[in-house]
Chain A
């Protein structure tokens, strides 16, 4: 029989200081074997540790879905809200308490289907929230229905004959809506993902980090891809931005660039702008 390994928390923290952001007592988590969600949480924790941000200064907000269960394992002020509405709640937290680092964890369905309206408006406002959008191309939690990012031809429980809908390019959508920081990473390239999260948090304004992460169970099963196949797909079909830019058009087909895709740092952040108005109205005696 397997014996639990008895390592004290102090020992673990020495080796992995980012463990301090985890609610260890809530483990094991609910995610399936091979699911990429744990990798994204790990990347967030390491990034926060590298930036030296204290637990007491972070609020993590999510909607509903497998990816939206992330805040439960994160030791901060955590808000697991209604399906699609994470950005609305997070806007409230950030506007009421601008000194907090606010991170949103959301799924492709949560953020771009039911939450699409909130998403484009958060991009437009340029409010200082860092969004980790776990794009697994499917509705994981509800059993594998089609999502706005399900690739054409892929199978989902509601597209038994293959997906016939065109899908969103989330990064383009965000850029079009006015997001000032847009990046793409994957659950396979975790070190790179850490850097993207770090840059996203440091960016003063709205940051979107799309993370391609495998839903090994719902998507994998429906599309006859094993756990290894899915991570290999990420490895082989995503390309660092620099290399991507040099690729001729015909070689780009079916592949996606990784890295910081869009970064504008001369637009005013929403809460700063709002409170500067407040100060003016109050005549500087705030």
Chain B
């Protein structure tokens, strides 16, 4: 029999982090993410790990990276304005190849916006917030049980790819209680960073192996090396050699991109015979799922495509989907962010309709249903995004 436990989303995230092997947390409180920190403060000392509440988010991000280089699986959690503050050091984590998990429980913005209400307005910030070219994996759960799965998956990929990974939640998912089958998390698959197989004299901290990822030695283990946010060569020392610089940026992107198929994770609901598709994620996908059921009762053949890995985008899957349906609707709690990605990936194969809200309120199932009915009946001819 399944072992069901009622859990709060943000607490589930912290519990899963411990299961994934997280032993270092540095953060700064911000609604609606603070309960992640509070739970980590309780759990980490019980397993010998380190918790620290830093003076701000910039410090938290830097501190988490320091912990990662000193050998610990490391995490920080935040929301909107805090995520903005972390951006420079997130870029540092990309460049220095620090494995670290950043949890962002989204709220409404810009600025302090709506602290206690839901938003999905950091979709683009997650990918483009820090300057420079990069590809940062981002996972987006839609239930408490999935928060646990995705937290563990975020740690696994951060370690294996030596890169920051963002767990992109939203206020509704972070603040709701749901039952979780704990048996699923008894012996989960855990991946760890590659350690060097050569003696310290031969170790090159930034020389990629076949998978484009360099082995990572922990500070204190006798492998002395240099880490910088500047462009660097295989030794980790700064370089302005144009060939090395180009190669480095290309590799940092490629190491994620080449695993895109393995990283990709979606839920498809009633899509097999669908004439229309809804593309939605996080809490919005829950409304969309009910809307699909209600529409089916009315005889409208609609299905849901829910990306769980938001970045890298499921480009081919979305392209194929657009080839099969008459139209796609993208409801999201922002003024139109992910819809841009859907448009890019589907390359004009079918009309894309959008549904946007940024006032802290959910998009309700009946509203999505109404929109689907309009689209199915041909009432809206011009996709909103083009109007």
- A residues within 8 Å of B by Cβ? 26, 55-57, 59, 61, 71-72, 75-82, 85, 87-97, 99-100, 117-118, 121, 274, 277-278, 281-282, 286
Contacts and interface: CB of A to CB of B under 8 A. Distances in A.
B103 interface: no
Nearest to B46: A281
A79 B227 contact: yes
Give chain B's interface residue range (CB within 8 Å of chain A): 35 or more
B367 interface: no
A230 B364 CA distance: 71
A238 B290 CA distance: 76
Contact of A118 (B59, B74, B219): B59
A57 B222 CA distance: 8
Interface string B287-304: 000000000000000000
A26 to B, nearest CB: 7
A59 B55 CA distance: 22
B72 interface: yes
A63 to B, nearest CB: 10
Contact of A282 (B24, B46, B56, B229): B46
B45 interface: yes
Interface string B40-69: 000001101110101110111111111111
Contact of A82 (B64, B220, B229): B229
| Residue of A57, A61, A99 with highest tally of chain B CB at under 10 A | A61
B59 A88 contact: yes
A76 B221 CA distance: 11
B67 A96 contact: yes
Nearest to A286: B48
Contacts of B237: 26, 72
A110 to B, nearest CB: 13
B226 interface: yes
A85 B45 contact: no
13 contacts: A26-B237, A59-B219, A77-B219, A81-B92, A88-B62, A91-B59, A92-B63, A92-B67, A95-B63, A96-B74, A117-B55, A117-B59, A286-B48
A77 B230 contact: no
Contact of B55 (A55, A72, A118): A118
Nearest to A69: B238
Contacts of A55: 224
A91 B76 CA distance: 14
A92 B48 contact: no
A72 B224 CA distance: 11
B59 A282 contact: no
A78 B24 contact: no
Nearest to B26: A92
Interface in B217-252: 218-220, 222, 224-230, 237-238
A128 to B, nearest CB: 14
